[in-house]
């Protein structure tokens, strides 16, 4: 991964955080909502490829820990919502099946962590239409599945990795290009539609889209605001 790719990926991460925070505003525009879901799927693939590229390096354990924490955080958020739904619907069996804490998950071995989080994902997927009033959107369920998939990759041995490092390098470059294209050609064009109705979402998105040179801590001179058509 070169420095330009690293800077772009940092921007993607900030953008994902903003999009997650303002999901409610984004869903008011169908085309924008669809594009954001596509971007999140690409981000999941990017994380997957980063792991493969880092296979055998000292950064692997740190990335695995981050992926594990993301998965557990997402799992607990959804599990708690399903628990509340079970209480409201007098379903003690469902309540017992989703009663889990972050510390309990952290104490499990990797395979049991995966199984426990998949259990919550499957319950959420089956109840997706009933969880909106508990704050759980289809996008959040999709993100949980992406976190689980990334965790599965992180615990795979080098011999069973889906892609080797040389393939991962090429795939990472393509994903960065694809994500920049999606931002520039679709999301950047549609986000200004929220400027009047959801100004905070729009302004936060504009800030997230600025690429920072991580080595210098400054904005790159060639970067402009999203509405001017650059990433």
pLDDT, residue 194, reads 95
Out of 160, 183, 218, pick the residue that ends a domain.
160
Digitized pLDDT (tens) for each residue of the chain, 231 residues in all: 678 888 898 899 889 989 988 989 999 999 999 999 999 989 988 887 877 666 555 455 677 788 899 999 999 999 999 999 999 999 999 999 999 999 999 999 999 999 999 999 999 999 988 999 999 988 889 889 988 988 887 776 544 444 466 677 788 899 999 999 999 999 999 999 999 999 999 999 999 998 865 455 555 533 344 444 344
In angstroms, what CA-CA distances link 118 with 67, 79, 153? 15, 11, 14
User: Residue 225: what pLDDT?
Assistant: 41
State percent of the chain over pLDDT 70. 81
Please, what is the angle between helix 30-53 and helix 59-88, to 10°? 140
* End residue of a domain, out of 160, 194, 221: 160
Contact by Cβ (8 Å): 172, 5: yes
- In sequence order, what are the residues at sequence separation of 6 or more whose Cβ sits closer than 8 angstroms to the Cβ of residue 180? 8, 231
Give the model's pLDDT for residue 50.
76
217 and 142 co-located in one domain: no
pLDDT digits (tens, 9 = 90+) for 44-77: 888 878 776 665 554 556 777 888 999 999 999 9
Residue 152 and residue 89 in contact, taking contact as beta carbons nearer than 8 Å: no
80 with 113, same domain? yes
- Counted domains in the chain: 2
Kindly state whether residues 147 and 85 are assigned to the same domain: yes
Pair 152, 169 in one domain:
no
Instruction: Centre a 10 Å sphere on the Cβ of residue 127 and count the other Cβ atoms it contains.
Output: 20
The boundaries of the domain holding residue 188 are: 1-55+164-231
Q: Are 132 and 206 found together in one domain?
A: no
What is the model's pLDDT at position 177? Answer: 94
Question: CA-to-CA distance for 46 and 184, rounded, in angstroms?
Answer: 18
pLDDT at 53: 66
**Cα 77 to the center of its chain, rounded Å:** 14
Name the domain boundary from 122, 142, 160: 160
Q: Are residues 103 and 121 in the same domain?
A: yes
The helix (H) or strand (E) run that includes residue 219 is: strand 218-219
Contacts for 33 with CB less than 8 Å, ≥ 6 apart: 26, 27
The model carries a pTM of 0.56
- 212 three-class SS: strand
């Amino acid at each position: 991964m070169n420095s330009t790719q690293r800077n772009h990926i940092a921007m993607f991460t900030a953008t994902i955080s903003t999009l997650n925070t303002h999901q409610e505003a984004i869903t008011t525009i169908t085309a924008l909502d669809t594009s954001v879901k596509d971007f999140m799927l690409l981000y999941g693939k990017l994380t997957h490829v980063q792991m493969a590229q880092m296979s055998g390096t000292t950064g692997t354990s740190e990335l695995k820990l981050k992926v594990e924490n993301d998965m557990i955080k997402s799992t607990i958020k959804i599990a708690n919502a399903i628990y509340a739904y079970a209480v409201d619907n007098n379903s003690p069996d469902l309540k017992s099946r989703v009663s889990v804490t972050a510390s309990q998950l952290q104490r499990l071995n990797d395979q049991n962590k995966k199984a426990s989080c998949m259990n919550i994902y499957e319950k959420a997927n089956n109840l997706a239409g009933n969880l909106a009033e508990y704050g759980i959107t289809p996008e959040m369920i999709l993100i949980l599945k992406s976190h689980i998939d990334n965790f599965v990759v992180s615990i795979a041995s080098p011999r069973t990795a889906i892609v080797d490092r040389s393939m991962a390098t090429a795939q990472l470059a393509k994903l960065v290009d694809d994500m920049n294209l999606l931002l520039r050609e679709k999301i950047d064009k549609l986000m200004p539609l929220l400027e009047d109705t959801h100004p905070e979402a729009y302004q936060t998105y504009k800030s997230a889209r600025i690429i920072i040179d991580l080595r210098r801590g400054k904005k790159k001179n060639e970067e402009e605001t999203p509405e001017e058509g650059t990433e």
